[in-house]
Amino acid sequence: MLQLKKVSVKVGKKEILKDFNFEFEKGKVYAVMGPNGSGKSTLAYAIAGHPAYKLDVGSLKLDGKEIRDKKPEERAKMGIFLSFQNPLSLSGVTVFQLLRIALGKKKDPLELKNEVETTARRLKINPELISRSLNDGASGGEKKKLEMLQAAILDPKLVIFDEIDTGVDVDALKTIAEFMDGNKKGKTFIVITHYNRILHYIKPDKVLVLMEGKLVKVGGAKLAEEIEKKGYEKVMS
Ligand SMILES: Nc1ncnc2c1ncn2[C@@H]1O[C@H](COP(=O)(O)OP(=O)(O)O)[C@@H](O)[C@H]1O
Ligand SMILES: [Mg+2]
């Protein structure tokens, strides 16, 4: 569903992502692992279309369509959802209002309201957070759950979670992982993480390891366990 061929991304003159080749498939959960600074967020930004992380070389195809020159909002409309490592706060805008804007006339406001409330309950989100400005005073875990809520309602084909486990307590992590597992049908999830914690709760179909901007290894769920035990350097050497 998402195919990257010979992808290279430069920031300034520095090549950050180097010759990345991989095809992500529908209905699967992928974990992208790698030490800090290995290029994981860069990969996520390049897929989502962040203007500072344009492809220098290579092709990026979503369901066979070249999207390397598409704007982030066009990619979002095509079904790509990126949840940021550090979700921003929006003052004066609630998650409900944001979703209403994003969905336009696609969903009846009342129906949307019900859906937001039901999903919030399933994600164990404090109802008060739904009526507040987005992420205003929300903890790390609550912000990530609100991202998950948006992903659930917008119903994208491809969901990328950048460091969803950072600053999230174990209970929230379990809720998020269960939710993801129950919603993966027909979708592709890319879960970016620098450690194995979330992978105790969600079993990835494939694990990709990035080191210094290169895809150095692809394996099954066991690879993540091995990395946890031995560390990146040992597993890769
Ligand atoms: N906007 C930027 N300007 C300069 N260097 C950047 C920028 N974005 C990323 N980098 C560099 O690229 C490398 C990979 O960063 P990043 O993709 O954020 O890694 P990760 O998410 O794996 O921790 C790092 O060395 C980082 O400093
Ligand atoms: Mg990162």
What is the domain partition of the chain in residue ranges? 2-191+217-236
Angle in degrees, CA 46, 50, 219, rounded to 5: 25
140 lines ligand 1 (CB under 6 A): no
Q: How far is CA 9 from CA 15, 57, 162, 211, 236, in A?
A: 6, 7, 18, 15, 23
Query: What pTM was estimated for this model as a whole?
Result: 0.90
Q: What is the mean predicted confidence (pLDDT) over 3-10?
A: 97
34 lines ligand 1 (CB under 6 A): yes
Residues with CB under 5 A from ligand 2 (ion): 40-41
The whole-angstrom separation of Cα 14 and Cα 150 is 34
From atom 18 of ligand 1, which residue's Cα is the shortest distance away? 41
Report the nearest atom of ligand 1 relative to the CA of 43: 17
The whole-angstrom separation of Cα 125 and Cα 144 is 10
State residue 143's pLDDT score: 86
Main-chain dihedrals φ then ψ at residue 200, nearest 5 degrees: -75, -25
Q: What is the mean predicted confidence (pLDDT) over 157-179?
A: 84
Say which CATH topology domain 2-191+217-236 has: Rossmann fold (3.40.50)
Q: What is the mean predicted confidence (pLDDT) over 111-136?
A: 87
